[in-house]
Structure 1
């Protein structure tokens, strides 16, 4: 007969494991519970919640600004959905400011969402090595320069990560977010 001994360290690591599982489930529930329907509003609302949740799992270098700024490139209903989220949520005690972005006129932002077929090359060149989380929504491979790409798979929103691009921009992505990604580029 084998006897198992429970030590404080075993209990702590067990708790840490379950805390990670619980955080992952909370993220999944807040982001994946809704199926993407025919209404673009529900899809754009879901994408807005993904963007907000990504912020919680990414660490930026120290910032001195009074707000957390999200830029949205492209003509997309996601802009209004992100604005609705920004009215209700905060990031580390800071208000969220959402700005529409015209390619070539790049404001200071911490997160840049590039919608659909909007060009990303100019954004990547402008924000190269700056601490800006670039999120795209291309249903192919994650574009060069993007750190996160939203995908619509089987009527569900999924995402993939490019950790190399994030590191080059001095952003740290939580292992909890990495574990939830459909695809991870190291």
Structure 2
């Protein structure tokens, strides 16, 4: 015998509640992926803004930069912050316009800020006495052999971007970090 018409119909077409639940799960998963991508994008943008502000609150020695020269931020190849930093090109920094340069040849000559990945260090040599502000996302314990000690380490703590400063390394490089910057750091060594 065949089943009553209503039962066969339910088997072929899900009820409105089932359909709504299935759509809710699919849409919820899609929204979570979009929200996760937005959080990642905003983290990158926030870190790029921090680097810009590090440049604003750092004073280089007079012989480190000519009056009409750009402030050059060098970024190691394939660094996740590169695209976000490039959006800051041309912004003013202490009377200079910001220029972003991708390090391809391994030389930091002409750079004022170096943003690098300490785990995937490419072998660029950095003299600790060079007035070059070094910024990384990896602390000393995670850096590759030969990578320079970062003066500023960016980190994520409780969904907030924080940073630690090695003030001794900055002084050794003849850089003066603003007291405001030092107060905002999570830690200063």
Q: TM-score, normalised on structure 2? A: 0.69
Is 1:166 aligned to 2:163, yes or no?
no
Q: Which runs of 5+ in 1 are unaligned?
A: 1-36
Q: Are the equivalent residues in 1 in contact too, given 2:118–2:142 (CA < 8 A)?
A: no
Tell me how many residue pairs correspond in the alignment: 146
Is 1:135 aligned to 2:135, yes or no?
yes
Higher relative contact order (CA 8 A, sep 6+): 1
**How many Å apart are 1:69 and its aligned residue?**
0.3
- Report the 3-state secondary structure (helix = DSSP H, G, I; strand = E; otherwise coil) of the residue aligned with 2:108: coil
**How many Å apart are 1:49 and its aligned residue?**
0.2
Aligned in 2, Cα 1:141/1:153: closer, same or farther, shift over 3 Å?
Answer: farther
The answer for the alignment partner of 2:120 in structure 1 is: 118
CA distance in 2, matches of 1:134, 1:96: 16
Please give the per-residue CA displacement for 1:148-183, whole angstroms capped at 9, x wherever unaligned.
000111121100000010011000111111111111
Q: Which runs of 5+ in 2 are unaligned?
A: 1-34
Aligned in 2, Cα 1:140/1:128: closer, same or farther, shift over 3 Å?
Answer: closer
The answer for the alignment partner of 2:80 in structure 1 is: 77
The answer for the alignment partner of 2:110 in structure 1 is: 108
**How many Å apart are 1:109 and its aligned residue?**
0.3
- Report the 3-state secondary structure (helix = DSSP H, G, I; strand = E; otherwise coil) of the residue aligned with 2:74: strand
The answer for the alignment partner of 2:36 in structure 1 is: 38
- Report the 3-state secondary structure (helix = DSSP H, G, I; strand = E; otherwise coil) of the residue aligned with 1:38: helix
Output the aligned Cα RMSD. Answer: 2.3
Q: TM-score, normalised on structure 1? A: 0.70
